[in-house]
Homo-oligomer: A and B are copies of this chain.
Amino acid sequence: MSRQPPTLEDVAREAGVSRATVSRVVNGVRNVDPAIQEVVRQAIDRTGYTPNRAARSLVTRRAETVALVVSGAGDLSEDGQIDFAARVFADPFFGRVVAGVVSYLRPHSMHPVLMFAESAKDRHEVLSYLRQGRADGALVVSTHPDDPLPALLAGAHLPAVLFARPARAVPLSYVDLAHRDGGRLAAEHLLARGCRTPATICGPLDVAAGQERLAGFRDALARHGHPYAPAAEGGFTRDSGLTAMARLLADHPDIDGVFAANDLMAQGACQLLRERGKRIPEDVAVVGFDDSSAAVTCQPRLTTVRQPVEAMAARMAGLLDEHVRQVRREPTSVVFDPELVIRDSA
């Protein structure tokens, strides 16, 4: 049915020049007579020519594609896989990562291939994907501190950049947030609005982000004369925030301020608080973390510590690009600053 797509050869014949010349104008290389350039350009339009990427990649050794891999640590069944993917995107965080990555990639005419790596087999697949040259490098978002993928990537000398500092040191670039400062911001805001007994729903303590946000919160509190703040650990999900809030309230009924280590948990906390008839922020002030879509969906709208995920993800893509182009050879880290966004909950 559909005839073969036109090749360089076809365009060259049409324009009455050589393949090399056409290639030069296609790739915007100088040293081509403007008049000939025009002729070639017209021939391209007439034929509807589009360069064949495989052929180009074969010689340039670039795929102009990066792998965006969401990586766990487990070894899930096939059924688990599908849940993993769906669960991952249930958190507004990943949508923002995707948005940020694409915002960098698109203008550079690169595209992300989505990969999920939850098992040893998956991880092997990611490596082989890169080794096959199907992608020039990997952008990896680990969901688990024990994720072995970063080390594997580094060991294979494959270009990769991480979102967040890995639990175990690995010679790879990463972008991150000053989580500790974020915790501090939350504490100071709660104190400034007059909270007497602040508490926190912290993130999983085996994740650096969880630890650091908590540490920053407690440090700031301590510096203002609050030697102790109750904490209940959550799992960064809405439900876990809700149950953590219930525990907190049971143990310390007089709590009047809560810092939740992400917006989802803050949302859960708000829900429980409302069910218990507490007014927010009058009875209990709530500060979230991330400034994700959940922050504005929440009732009331969340005062929260903003993590500029889109910008971070874009930067991550930029770093990878530099590594791929060999403009940057040594691993580096870029740490972003959090920012307090004041809305209605505190």
Interface, chain A (partner B; CB < 8 A): 1-2, 5, 50-55, 57-58, 63, 65, 68, 78, 81-90, 92, 94-96, 98-100, 102-103, 106-107, 109, 111-116, 125, 128-129, 131-134, 157, 238-239, 271, 293, 297, 299, 310
Q: Does the CB pair A95–B102 fall under 8 Å?
A: no
Contacts of A94 on B, CB cut-off 8 Å?
Answer: 89, 95
In the complex, which of the residues B63, B85, B106, B132 contacts A50, with contact meaning CB atoms closer than 8 Å?
B132
Counting chain B CB atoms within 10 Å of each CB, which of A63, A65, A86 scores highest?
A86
Q: Does the CB pair B86–A293 fall under 8 Å?
A: yes
Q: Does the CB pair B113–A113 fall under 8 Å?
A: yes
Q: Does the CB pair B99–A95 fall under 8 Å?
A: no
Q: Does the CB pair B297–A238 fall under 8 Å?
A: yes
Cα distance A96–B238 when bound, in Å?
A: 19
Counting chain B CB atoms within 10 Å of each CB, which of A51, A55, A98, A271 scores highest?
A98
Q: Does the CB pair A81–B103 fall under 8 Å?
A: yes
Cα distance A83–B98 when bound, in Å?
A: 11
In the complex, which of the residues B52, B112, B238, B297 contacts A132, with contact meaning CB atoms closer than 8 Å?
B52
In the complex, which of the residues B63, B85, B238 contacts A98, with contact meaning CB atoms closer than 8 Å?
B85
Cα distance A103–B112 when bound, in Å?
A: 18
Cα distance A98–B86 when bound, in Å?
A: 7
Across the interface, name the chain B residue whose C-beta is closest to A55.
B58
Cα distance A125–B89 when bound, in Å?
A: 25
Across the interface, name the chain B residue whose C-beta is closest to A64.
B134
Contacts of A116 on B, CB cut-off 8 Å?
Answer: 102
Q: Does the CB pair B90–A133 fall under 8 Å?
A: no
Contacts of A299 on B, CB cut-off 8 Å?
Answer: 271
Contacts of A115 on B, CB cut-off 8 Å?
Answer: 111
* A–B pairs, 7, beta carbons within 8 Å: A53-B54, A53-B134, A54-B54, A65-B113, A85-B102, A86-B96, A239-B297
Cα distance A131–B111 when bound, in Å?
A: 15
Across the interface, name the chain B residue whose C-beta is closest to A112.
B114
Cα distance A139–B190 when bound, in Å?
A: 48
Across the interface, name the chain B residue whose C-beta is closest to A50.
B131
Cα distance A294–B96 when bound, in Å?
A: 19
Counting chain B CB atoms within 10 Å of each CB, which of A51, A90, A116 scores highest?
A90
Contacts of A90 on B, CB cut-off 8 Å?
Answer: 92, 95, 293
Q: Does the CB pair B82–A102 fall under 8 Å?
A: yes
